[in-house]
Amino acid sequence: MLYYASSLRLSLMTTSSFLKQAPVLAAVSFIITYLVTIAVVRLAHYIGLVDQPQRDHPGIIHTRPVARGGGIPLLAGLLVTSFLFLPMNPSLIAILIGSFLNVLVGTIDDRFNLSPYIRLLFTLPLAALPIILVGTHISISNPFGPGIFTFDWIHYQIPPFNIQVSLPEALLLMFWIVWVCNMMNWTKGASQLPGMAVIAFLTLGGVALKYQAGNPHQIVTAQLSIILAAASLALLPFNYPPERIFPGFGGSTFIGFNLAVLSVLSGGKLAAALLVLGIPVADMCISIWRRINQGGSPLIGDRGHLYHLLLDLKLSKKQVIWIYWLVTLCLGIFALSLERGQKLFAIVLVSILTFGIFLIIRSWLAKNTKARGQLKTLRKHSQ
């Protein structure tokens, strides 16, 4: 009883101190990101860091040149705020290094359009390595009862650095980080990403505080979440149509990397991450299945994402963005309100609903396309 009472007092103290600190973290991160974004937008057109509408990519939907390199201001907001207010420790340093690597190579890709195979096989795993080497663990809450599932079954010592990694945990962690980075990169095409990132980071921060009792290290997750949410919010007005800057590969993988890491930092929040990111999760799974089924590479972009289908329904880009934001907000509230054991069933339900929406829209578009084709044929014969 005494242990639980002391843990509760510690929880209340740390949560209270975080709530006092949060406005400062958010304000500094927002201001730094906002100012650096202005500078990047101005500089990008001089150094060729621009996304041209005539670029050879079937998924492009913008009609004028727009600056890339949105990862640079996001990284600046995280680095400056972290160095000013957060105590440096191996986990935080690993997060900063991984974020830097994502933005560095991502910005190079924004400028020179690297091969997607190079990005998948070298860039993203390289960014995940610091997280693995500092001993970050991945665990999943048991949805059917108490306890958690862990994956540190085999321990391996890396000479000569005396670093220990666990298998298959390290491989699962790398897969998770790479997957979420790619997932967020695939869902940026209609300029919906910064708003979704704000909601997702706040959701993970809220989940960290919700289960913080007895584990004050969750405060670190909440601190980083508020910093990253504020940075994403500062980028949002520049990425909202008419866009002045795109997140680019650097910005989208920066967001994905930090969402992936925060979801496993100081206790598993994988279910919350999967739930709040329900649309990108379903979109990515369906896109991979569709591309393979059509005999193509799952890494080569096309014009078949959900936002493309919504645009084909004659919705405006702003309407599509708000649909993504509102659905993500509802899923974020859902993730915060559910207990751990309920989230698995919620994830399955959201996946089924999203898959159904894909099928309905695709079927409707195919039917109307066929009808329009038949109408054109009749008009041609009648003339």
Report field, pTM of the whole predicted structure over 0.85: yes
List, for residues 191-209, the tens digit of each pLDDT value: 999 999 999 999 999 988 8
The residue with tokens 């005999």 is: 295
Give the CB-side neighbour count of residue 371, counting CA atoms within 13 A: 6
Domain boundaries, the chain: 2-274
pLDDT of residue 138 exceeding 90, the answer is no
Tell me the pLDDT tens digit for each residue of 307-353: 888 888 888 999 999 999 999 999 999 888 877 666 667 777 777 78
Which residues are CB-contacts of 225 (< 8 A; sequence separation ≥ 6)? 201, 202, 204, 205, 208, 262
Give pLDDT tens digits for 84-108: 999 898 899 999 999 999 999 999 9
Q: What 3-state DSSP class applies to 49?
A: coil
Q: What Rg value do the Cα atoms of the chain yield, rounded?
A: 22
